[in-house]
Amino acid sequence: MKTRHLLMACALPALFAACKKDSNDQPSTPTVADNTVAFTLDGKAYTTTRLELSTAAVADQEVNQTDSLYVLTGLTSAAANAGQITLSVTFRKGQVVAGNYGDTAYATDGINWVPALGGEDFYQSNTSHYSVIQISKADGKVLEGTFSGEVASTTNQDQVLKVTGGQFRINLSTVAKGN
């Protein structure tokens, strides 16, 4: 009798330790390193392998100010037919500050997607299929945030892709700079 109780006492903790509760598992969120963009497009996860940041001054004649346009372009692989994602944000009065962007105030703000470089498909957010780019950190050293939304084909507006879980982290001193 004692042997049976001893075996049960040893077996029960091992049995419960081996059980795993699946209901609390959360989907993994991409962790982004410096100079990386990660996102999910219609259920498929992507992470950029090459990233470039271009900036330009944009004159706003209506309010007599100069804004700054930041264009972040990333390739999903080193292949010649890699996908390309572009995030565009216009900072008012040239001040790079945290906040939500991608509204319809500036037609250039938003997400663009090219499924394959050299291909004919091109998708972009627009007034019907908008996107939100949220800058959570803009301290002059790092530009960091999230993005999501929809991009519609420029040749067939009924063809719409969902962009979810987008994250980026840009080290302004080490990111490749464009023109």
Written as tens digits, the pLDDT of the chain (179 aa) is 444 333 334 433 333 344 444 444 444 444 678 999 999 999 999 999 899 999 998 887 777 778 889 999 999 999 989 999 999 998 888 888 999 987 655 667 899 999 999 888 899 998 788 899 999 999 999 999 999 999 999 999 899 999 999 999 999 999 988 86
pTM value is: 0.78
E strands, 14-159, are 36-41, 44-47, 50-60, 65-75, 84-91, 99-101, 110-114, 123-124, 131-138, 142-153
CA–CA distances in Å: residue 29 to residues 24, 26, 57, 135 = 15, 9, 34, 18
